[in-house]
Amino acid sequence: MLVFAAAQLLPGNVGRNILGPFASENDVKILNHQLGLDRPVLTQYGDWIWKLLQGNLGSSLEYQGTSVSSLLGPSLVNSLKLAAVAFVLVVPFSIFGGVAAALRRGRPADRIITLTGLSLTAVPEFVSAILLILVLGLWLKLLPVTAQYPSGAGFFTQVRYLLLPGLALVMVLFGYIARMARTGTIEALDSDYVRTAYLKGLDTSTVVRRHVLRNSLLPTIAVVATQMGYLIGGLVVIEKLFNYNGIGQRILTAATNKDFPMLESGVLVVGIVYLVATLAADVLYSLLNPRIRYAAAE
Amino acid sequence: MSTVSLPLQPSEVSVARRETVQLLLRSPTFVVGVVILGFWIFCAFFGSLVAPHDALDQSFPQLAGPGKYLFGTDQLGRDVFSRVLAGARDIMEVAPAATLLGILGGTTIGLVTGYFRGLVDDAVSRLVDAILALPLVVIAVTVLVALGPSKPTLILVIGFVFTPIVSRTVRAAVLAEGSLEYVQAARLRGESPLYVMFAEILPNVMPPIVVEATVRLGYAIFAIAGLTFLGFGVQPPSPDWALQISDNYTLLNSGTYWWTVLFPGLAIASLVVALNLVADSISKVLER
């Protein structure tokens, strides 16, 4: 609980941090006056927080008169679409990979899966994305090389356009999640209850399905949640590479153009999304793990 | 194991060290990793000397395919092969420096919080949680925009972000050591906390710190390459790999100029994969 309380305070602090150094760099004084940027930093910040509490994110400095929320909203939806595609791909892939590796522990197949995962994880996402674009997009011509689907495209077309950027994120995440799934599975395989299950005469597939998987997937869910932070950062890079209009692009342009309301709100939104995802994973974790559920009830 | 038949060593420490090295050399992944890593370290020092052309020389035909120029030329008419060799330098300066900074800071904080616990620990841990709650890229971009991108700022930012992460690992290791008898003995001898932390505990928590350092180095390269790609890291006209990709990736859509991005991409990939192979083998041997 304390962790959450501390993290809740965070976006505000970051907002102030960003504002501090920038406030001295305002050259265009008249414009600044119009925008209220020549007021003391704390006043601006207080103003921003006050409006925020009323649900108003302010208006963008770059796109005059356009409200931040009307620009951020669609971008957030776009980013979530991309993240969803990546997630739907990565979770089954990496859990399958991890469990498969664990069941063949120490054999070549295990080594190959582990080392591949490790290597893919280490390669920066824009590098793997470039390789994917070259191979799948340009040489084999399987997938479109831009992420921005034509407007009004149907569900499947959208997914098709998002597959390539999604895959690039998958390559980075696969290693972590597969490794956790592998560790969890090995731990479960070594346990007494699995030995008991085998001695009861159950066949391997039943043991794996009913006894191993249930226990091994718990730590995996936890690690999926910790990767949310990375996923958001990865989105920034991937969105730029594919010129995709998501929240990462918004934050990036806002940062380059010193569009503070946009930047602050973008970072705030990212912080909130991150918290919600972590919380959701915590809840899911306790729902799936009777031990934690009972401990909390006592 | 045939430890019994080994000749007598001056001390147990050197025996253990020799065993560690032998175990590492027996692992093929470690050897492969070290060879690739060694090649790039060589290039970081001498890359611009062994390269056939100057990495900034623009006097070649623009966008010539691989052939006469081994890896082709880029849109300004620079030799891609020479740029790949020379491009090792910046990342190999910034990433280790940032990692070192993070390890030094993190180790100090981890030792202090793990040793004193109580209020200091609580306060610092909350702060650490707060910093960790935002994605690295987002923190780094905002700070780099504020301070202006340069190599020293890049080192500071990455080092600063790594500090809390490292401190967590060190703190956990120190907590485990703190209750052991040798620490209590030192305390009862009346040693100062500073002495107990750095002379007694630190040597015993070195293995996790070494592992953490190798892992962090990989992340540093990952992060710096990403930031450079976004335009907030190493600045032009450096032949840095990520910068080459950032400069040329927009040409990709036409599908013809692949060599301008493929080779720097493979260079980054081989460097980080090699580093991870080394890190993985070291952690397996040290944590056995």
**Which residues 219-248 of chain A have a CB within 8 Å of chain B?**
229-230, 232-234, 236-237, 240-241
Return the minimum-mean-pLDDT range out of A5-14, A136-145, A222-231, A273-282: A5-14
Nearest neighbour of A122 by CB, restricted to B229, B255, B272: B272
Tell me, yes or no, if A263 comes closer than 8 A to chain B by beta carbon. yes
Q: Quick one: closest CA in B to A263, which residue?
A: B142
Cβ count within 10 A of residue B99: 25
User: B123: buried, middle or exposed (CB in 10 Å: 19+, 13-18, 0-12)?
Assistant: exposed
Nearest-CA distance B259 → chain A (Å): 10
pLDDT of residue B3: 46
Provide CB contacts within 8 A for A147, sequence distance 6+.
A82, A161, A162, A164, A165, A238, A239, A242, A243, A244
Question: Could you count the other beta carbons within 10 Å of the beta carbon of residue A292?
Answer: 14
**Region A253-259 average pLDDT:** 73
Residue B57 has pLDDT above 80, yes or no: no
The total of other beta-carbon atoms located within 10 Å of residue A79's CB is 27
Determine the pLDDT at residue B197: 87
What pLDDT does B235 receive? 83
Q: Which helix (H) or strand (E) holds B176?
A: helix B151-178
Q: Worst-scoring range by mean pLDDT, A164-168, B12-16, B120-124, B196-200?
A: B12-16
Residues of chain A with Cβ-Cβ distance to B133 below 8 Å are 6-7, 10, 229, 271, 274-275
- Give which of A176, A181, A184, A206 is closest to A96, Cα–Cα: A181
B161: in domain: yes
Interface test with A, best of B145, B228, B244 (most A CBs within 10 A): B145
Q: Rounded distance, CA B110 to CA B107, Å?
A: 5
What is the per-residue pLDDT for B100? 95
Nearest CB partner across the interface for A122, out of B137, B222, B226 = B222
CA-wise closest residue to B195 among B211, B212, B208, B182: B182
In a domain, B182, yes or no: yes
B69: β partners: B66
Task: For chain B, say whether A140 makes contact (Cβ under 8 Å).
Answer: no
Closest residue of chain B to A146, computed from CA coordinates = B253
Distance from CA of A132 to the nearest CA of B (A): 11
Give chain B positions within 8 Å (CB) of A22: 146
What is the distance in angstroms between the Cα of B230 and the nearest Cα belonging to chain A? 7
- Residue A193: the pLDDT is 85
Angle between helices B259-286 and B88-116 (to 10 degrees): 30
Q: CA B190, CA A276: separation in Å to the nearest integer?
A: 49
Q: Give which of B95, B113, B111 is closest to B213, Cα–Cα.
A: B95
Cross-chain residue pair B141–A255, CB shorter than 8 Å: yes
- pLDDT of A247 reads 84
What's the pLDDT score for residue A140?
Answer: 75
Domain that includes residue B237, residue range: 89-242+262-286
User: For position B98, what pLDDT does the model report?
Assistant: 93
CB proximity under 8 Å: A 1-30 to B: 2-3, 6-7, 9-10, 13-14, 17-18, 21-22
Taking an 8 Å cut-off on Cβ atoms, the answer to whether B126 and A241 are in contact is: no
Q: Measure B224 CA to nearest chain A CA, in Å.
A: 9
How sure is the predictor about B105, in pLDDT bands with cuts at 50, 70 and 90? very high
**What are A112's two structure tokens?**
């190959």
| Averaged pLDDT, B104-109 | 92
Q: Looking at the complex, does the CB of residue A80 fall below 8 Å from at least one CB of chain B?
A: no
Q: Is A196 on the interface with B (CB under 8 A)?
A: no
Smallest CA–CA distance from A20 into chain B, residue: B146
Q: A-chain residues within 8 Å CB-CB of B127? A: 6
Number of domains in chain B: 1
Considering only residues A241 and A150, tell me which one the structure prediction assigns the higher pLDDT.
Answer: A241
Peptide bond connecting B164 to the previous residue in cis, omega within 30 degrees of 0: no
Residues of B in contact with A126 (CB under 8 A): 225-226, 229, 242, 245, 249
Determine contact, residues A237/A104, Cβ cutoff 8 Å.
no
Q: Note the pLDDT of residue B107.
A: 93
- Domain membership flag for residue B250: no
Q: Do the Cβ atoms of B237 and B54 come closer than 8 Å?
A: no
List the CATH number of the domain containing B142: 1.10.3720.10
What phi and psi values does residue B74 have, to the nearest 5 degrees?
-95, -170
* Residue B211, pLDDT score: 85
* Chain length of chain B: 288
Say what the ipTM of the complex is.
0.75
Least confident of A243-252, B141-150, B213-222: B141-150
Residue of B nearest to A234 (CA): B137
User: Please, what sign has the CA dihedral across residues B259, B260, B263, B268?
Assistant: negative
pLDDT of residue B253: 67
CB B272 to CB A123 under 8 A?
Answer: yes
pLDDT at position A201: 83
pLDDT value at residue A61: 55
Q: Which two tokens stand for residue B229?
A: 């790609």
Crossing angle of the two packed helices B259-286 and A108-122, in degrees rounded to 10: 120
* Angular region, B56: left φ>0, alpha ψ -120 to 50, beta rest: alpha
Read off the tokens for A252. 């990036």
Chain B: residue nearest A14 by CA?
B139
> Is residue B63 a part of any domain in this protein?
no
CB-CB contact of A295 with A288 (8 Å) = no
What's the pLDDT tens digit per position in A21-52? 444 444 334 444 444 444 444 555 556 566 65
What's the whole-model pTM score? 0.78
**The predicted structure's pLDDT at residue A276:** 80
Per CB-CB distance under 8 Å, the chain A contacts of B245 are 126-127, 130
pLDDT for B246 equals 84
Of A234, A30, A223, A224, which Cα lies nearest the Cα of A128? A234
Q: Which residues pair with A196 in a beta bridge?
A: none
Residue B143: phi, psi to the nearest 5?
-65, -40
Which of A14, A122, A125 has the CB atom closest to B273's CB atom?
A: A122
CA A213 and chain centroid, separation? 24
Question: Is B141 part of any domain?
Answer: yes
Q: How many residue pairs from chains A and B have C-beta atoms closer than 8 A? A: 136
What pLDDT is stored for residue A275 in this prediction? 75
The overall average pLDDT reported for chain B is: 81
Query: Is residue A9 scored above 70 in pLDDT?
Result: no
Buried b (16+ CB within 10 A) or exposed e, B41-80: bebbeebbeebebebbeeebeebbeeeebebbbbeeebbb
**CB distance A127–B134 less than 8 Å?**
no
**CA closest to A231 among chain B residues:** B135
Which chain B residues are Cβ-neighbours of A136 within 8 angstroms? Answer: none
- Given an 8 Å threshold on Cβ–Cβ distance, is B252 in contact with A258? no
Task: Tell how many helices (H) and how many strands (E) occur in chain A.
Answer: 14, 0
Query: What's the number of CA atoms in the CB half-sphere (13 Å) around residue B237?
Result: 8
CA dihedral A253, A256, A260, A264 (to 10 degrees): 60
Residue B206 token pair: 């070195």
Q: Are A114 and A101 in contact (CB under 8 A)?
A: yes
pLDDT for residue A298: 46
Give me the residue label for tokens 């909390």. Answer: A296
User: Residue B101: what pLDDT?
Assistant: 95
Residue B215 domain-assigned (yes or no):
yes
Average pLDDT over residues B95-118: 90
Distance CA B74, CA B11 (A): 57
Could you tell me if residue B149 is inside a domain?
Answer: yes
- How far, in Å, CA of A54 to CA of A143, rounded? 44
Best-predicted range by mean pLDDT (B140-149, B170-179, B210-219):
B210-219
As a dihedral over the C-alpha atoms of residue B222, residue B223, residue B224, residue B229, rounded to 10 degrees, the angle is: 90
Of residues B282 and A38, which shows the higher confidence score?
B282
Position A64 pLDDT exceeds 60: no
Tell whether B162 is covered by a domain: yes
Q: Which two tokens stand for residue A177?
A: 């999640």
